[in-house]
Structure formats: C-alpha cells, structure tokens
Amino acid sequence: MIDTNTTSHGKWSSRFAYILAATGSAVGLGNIWKFPYITGENGGGAFVLVYLLCVLLIGIPIMMAETLLGRRSQKNPIEAMELLTKEANADSNWHYLGWMGVIAGLLILSYYSVIAGWSSAYILKAFSGSFIDADALAIKSIFNDFIASPVKLVFWHTLFMLATMWIVVKGINNGLEKAVQYLMPVLFVLMFLLVAYAMTTGDNYFKGLHFLFSPDFSKLTSNSVLTAMGHAFFTLSLGMGAIMVYGSYLSKDISISKTVFLIAGADTIVALLAGIAIFPIVFANNLHPNSGPGLIFETLPIAFGAMTGGWLMGILFFVMLAIAALTSSISLMEPAVAWLVENRGFSRQKACVWSGGVTWLLGLGTVFSFNVWENFKVFDRNIFQILDYLTANLMLPIGGFCIAIFTGWIMNAQHSEDELALPNSGYYQVWKMLISYVAPAAVFFVFLHVVGVL
C-alpha cells in the first residue's frame, strides 16, 4: 500500500488504499473495547453526547489539520514540524510537537498490545467452545482466571507485538490492504448481528438504548468530560502524528475533507453499534456497566454462548477485533519508525526492532497491573490506568491543541486553504473558525475545569 521503494518517503497506491488504512487506524480497540467500558464507567448518555460533540467540533477539524500538515510536508511528524515551522518563519520549538507524538504513540502501543493480546487469546477460547451455554458467572471467571496469569498475558502481548513489527517492517503490503478491505464489511455485518441479538433481550434492549442515549447531566463530572474529549482524540487516532504520517503518504489530488468525513463517520458508527450491542447484554445478565476494561470480554461471550451459530460468530468476532487492533497498532508504531529511518539512518528492520522492543518492555507494566502489581497504585491508579490517563486524557488533547494552534494561527492561511481545497470559501471559513477558536478553546476550558480553576 505504501510504496516505500521508489522514493525515501512512500505514497499510497490509491485514494481507496488511504481511506482503508486511515479507517483501519481509527477503528480499533478504542471503538469496540474502550468506548463501551468508559461509557459504562461515566454514566452513559451525557458522556456519549459530549463524546459525539467532541468528535464533530474538535476531532473532525483537527483530523483535517493533521492530514494537511502531513501532506504538505511529505515528512515524518518530527521533520514535518521542522519544515512547516521554517515555512511559516515560526519558532523552532514547534518540532517538539512531533516528538511528543512519537512518544505518545509508543506509550499507547505498550498497553494497546496487551489488550489486543487478550482479543487474540479469546479467538482460541471461542474456538475451543468455552463459551457454549456458559452463564455470566462462568464467563466472568474465564476472564478473571485469564488476566490473573502474567505468563499468558505476556505470551499474547509478545505475539501481538511481533505481528505489529512484522507488518511495519514490510512497509504496508498488499496482504494488509486486502485484509482491511474484507475486514470492514465483515466488521459491520458482525456488529449488526450482535445488535440483532441484543434486540432479543426484550426490555433490556431498551434499557441499553436508554443508558446510551438519554443524557443525565448529573452524572457528568469534569473528569468524565475530559475522558470523553480524550476519547474523541484516541478513537480518531489524533494528536500524536499517526494521521499526520498517513497524510504524508497521500498524493496532492485527493480531497482531505471528504476522506476525513468518511473515516470519522465509519469510526463513530462502529463505536455506537458496539455500545448498542453490549449494554442490553449487560442489563439482561445483571452485570454492572462500570466493570471496567473487562466489559466486552465479560459480556459478548455470553451472547456467543447463547445464540445459534454463536460458536462461529465468537471466533469471527475476536479474529476481527484482533485484526482491527493490528491495523491501529501499526499506525501507533509508524511515526517512530519513519523518524528513525528518515532521520537517524536506521534500516526499517532495525527501527522496528528498537521501537517494538522498548514498547514491549513497557507493556509488561500493563500486564502486571492486572495481576502481580495490581495493588501498586499512584493517585489511586494502577500502571495501565496511569498510561491510559497520561496518553488519552493529557498527551493527545495537548497534541491536538498545539496542532490546532499551529494550523489556525501560525501557518499561512493560503497554504491551509490550498491543501484543503474545499468547494467554496464558506466551508473553509467554518473550518478555520473551528480550528482557530472552537477546538483550542474547548480543550483549554476542559483542562481548566479539571484542575479546578473553573
């Protein structure tokens, strides 16, 4: 897909290849694993509403900005920021933004790979028939036994990290392009089937819908607003250079705004379908919406165990989840690898071994936070929660804030207008207002609120 042979910096083979890769990056564990459990922990409807508003008013404009910065520079995020700062005659400190992105990507990948490992392990569990006719209690104990074993978690984490490294080394090849091409339709079909199953839970289906879509603002704390906003960045892969580096492989004749709407739309639909499938099962089995990161692993297997054809669906679902995670994890590693190759003269292999190795090691912290180190907490958070908070709630919104300021205020407006090439200047003005005022102000006010100034 990215042709890395002809020039030192590759190109997507087509518009479609780019859309697939960027959607592959956006749609992942964030939609199917994280969105439901954080919605459960943050009280449902009001949280979902804030998340949707953030996607629309902050996420989409910033995604357009990140893509245009990447495409204009045709460079990895660190060099891109160096180049664009020179072009804008701005302070050279802006290139630290590229750095923060590379670091955030590797920090996220460290725990992402552990959870993706859970999904891979669940393929085998589904295959072995463990879920058939199992009740909620049995499914919960399968999950608890699994995460209590550091050896098993390390095994699957290692396997997933190796798979990520393997694909990133190859450059993104045809195999992956094909995989994503089939994955997306299969993913949609499976999500709809799960939603159909959720509809069979009678009243609980409506309880689920009510939980997701009827906002109760009394449940909203400033930290849940921060989590919703952070998740808008996380789920769209924003604020750390993944979309920037993908944009840098994009040729000039492709419309950024159209592709961004497609990608953000698909991403949001998958998350909402996951929520609609999961909460009815939660209520039907007297489970708690706030059971945390194990939520999908404790609920969906109940459905697979009970429905006709559930054995096959369970296998397909976890295969699909693992592949969706893989198409995201490669984009978490790509900024670091592109920089090591283009700036430090590493071969792609060496760059992957280094980024993967360091990230794998860091991931052990997350593995142990579910078992041997589960009581090790700082500010009431275990290692996994610290990494998640630091990246999704702080680094990505700060990265996104800086990207908004840079594109809205520092970059020459003519340059952003040329890149976006919107059909009329009215659209450009709307984007410009969102990126210069609305997005940065929103991030800023949420932060002030969380630290208690507002």
* Binds ligand PHE (CB under 6 A): choice among 31, 74, 204, 393: 31
Q: Which stretch binds ligand PHE (CB under 6 A): 4-12, 184-192, 328-336, 413-421?
A: 328-336
Is 37 among the residues that bind ligand PHE (CB under 6 A)?
no
**What does the block give as tokens for 351?**
């760059």
User: Residue 39 interacts with ligand PHE (CB under 6 A)?
Assistant: no
Least CB distance to ligand PHE at residue 27 (A)? 6
Integer Cα distance of 333 and 121 in angstroms: 22
Structure tokens at 265: 């739309």
74 backbone dihedrals φ, ψ, rounded to 5°: 50, 40
Q: How far apart are CA 82 and CA 225, in angstroms?
A: 33
- Using the rule CB under 6 A, which residue among 19, 26, 84, 180 binds ligand PHE? 26
CA distance linking residue 228 with residue 268, whole number of Å: 13
Of 129 and 265, CB closest to ligand PHE: 265
Q: What are phi and psi of 282, to 5 degrees?
A: -55, -50
Question: Which of these segments, 21-29, 215-223, 256-264, 419-427, binds ligand PHE (CB under 6 A)?
Answer: 21-29
d(CA 349, CA 323): 22
The number of residues that bind ligand PHE (CB under 6 A) is: 15
Instruction: Please name the residue ranges forming H helices in 391-451.
Output: 396-405, 413-420, 425-433, 439-450
If you count them, how many residues does the chain have? Answer: 454
Binding map of ligand PHE across residues 60-99, x = CB under 6 A, - = no contact: ----------------------------------------
Task: Write the single-letter amino acid at 386.
Answer: I
Q: How far apart are CA 57 and CA 60, in angstroms?
A: 7
CB 239 to ligand PHE: min, Å: 8
3-state helix, strand, coil in the chain (%, to 5): 80, 0, 20
**Residue 321 binds ligand PHE, judged by CB under 6 A:** no
Amino acid at 313: M
Tokens of 344: 């430090």
Query: Closer CB to ligand PHE, residue 139 or residue 168?
Result: 168
**For ligand PHE, which residue has the nearest CB?**
30
CB of 119 to ligand PHE, least distance (A): 11
* Interatomic CA distance for residues 27 and 31, integer angstroms: 6
Cα separations in angstroms, 79 against 95, 340, 341, 342, 356 = 7, 11, 12, 9, 21
Evaluate whether 216 touches 46 at the Cβ level (below 8 Å): yes
> Considering only residues 328, 355, 393, 407, which one is a binding residue for ligand PHE as defined by CB under 6 A?
328
* Residue position matching structure tokens 């507002």: 454
Residue 137 and residue 99: Cα distance in Å, rounded?
Answer: 45
When asked if residue 29 is in the footprint of ligand PHE (CB under 6 A), the reply is yes
Query: Among the candidate windows 23-31, 80-88, 137-145, 183-191, which touches ligand PHE by CB under 6 A?
Result: 23-31
Between 157 and 432, CB nearer to ligand PHE: 157
Closest CB to ligand PHE among residues 64, 139:
64
Q: Closer CB to ligand PHE, residue 81 or residue 302?
A: 81
Residue 121 vs 392, nearer CB to ligand PHE: 392
Task: Quickly count: other Cβ atoms within 10 Å of residue 40's Cβ.
Answer: 24
* Interaction pattern, residues 99-118, with ligand PHE; x per rule: CB under 6 A: ---------x----------
Between residues 108 and 306, which has the closer beta carbon with respect to ligand PHE?
Answer: 108
What track of x and - describes contact with ligand PHE for positions 218 through 247 (by CB under 6 A)? ----------------xx-x--x-x-----
Map residue 2 onto helix, strand or coil: strand
Q: Which residues bind ligand PHE (CB under 6 A)?
A: 25-26, 28-31, 108, 234-235, 237, 240, 242, 328, 331-332
